[in-house]
Structure 1
């Protein structure tokens, strides 16, 4: 995914790689937070996932419309 993020042939591939990487990082962090009983970290992960979703939507809309 890191190679696809850096060298992706299209911008859509880069957006998909970014979304996939951030989701996997969030899942790993969530498992770590649950195992170590870090309740506050779970809230931070949820906020990170929401911001990731908004970011992907905004970037996708920008790419769909093109640069004006």
Structure 2
């Protein structure tokens, strides 16, 4: 029961972040929405892994989060450098 409520709340916030990703007025808003979406997907996967007992998935989720962090840093550096060139 509690996992259903948790999943529903995460999905609602995920939908709101997808809307922010599409409608974000600046590139920085889109980068933050992308990072938030990736974190929420990881959180949904973590809840699923715990409820079903697939504890091996936790390692995969951690790797996904690290790759997400690197992606956000790379995109941020790219946006920062392109802003300096303008």
When normalised by structure 2's length, the TM-score is 0.73
Residue from 39, 43, 47 that aligns with 2:55: 39
Aligned to 2:30: 14
Aligned to 1:59: 75
Unaligned runs of 5+ in 1: none
Unaligned runs of 5+ in 2: 1-16
Give me the CA root mean square deviation: 1.3
State the Cα distance separating 1:6 from its structure 2 match.
1.2
State the Cα distance separating 1:3 from its structure 2 match.
1.4
When normalised by structure 1's length, the TM-score is 0.91
**Displacement over 2 Å in runs of 4+:** none
Pairing 1:48–2:29 present: no
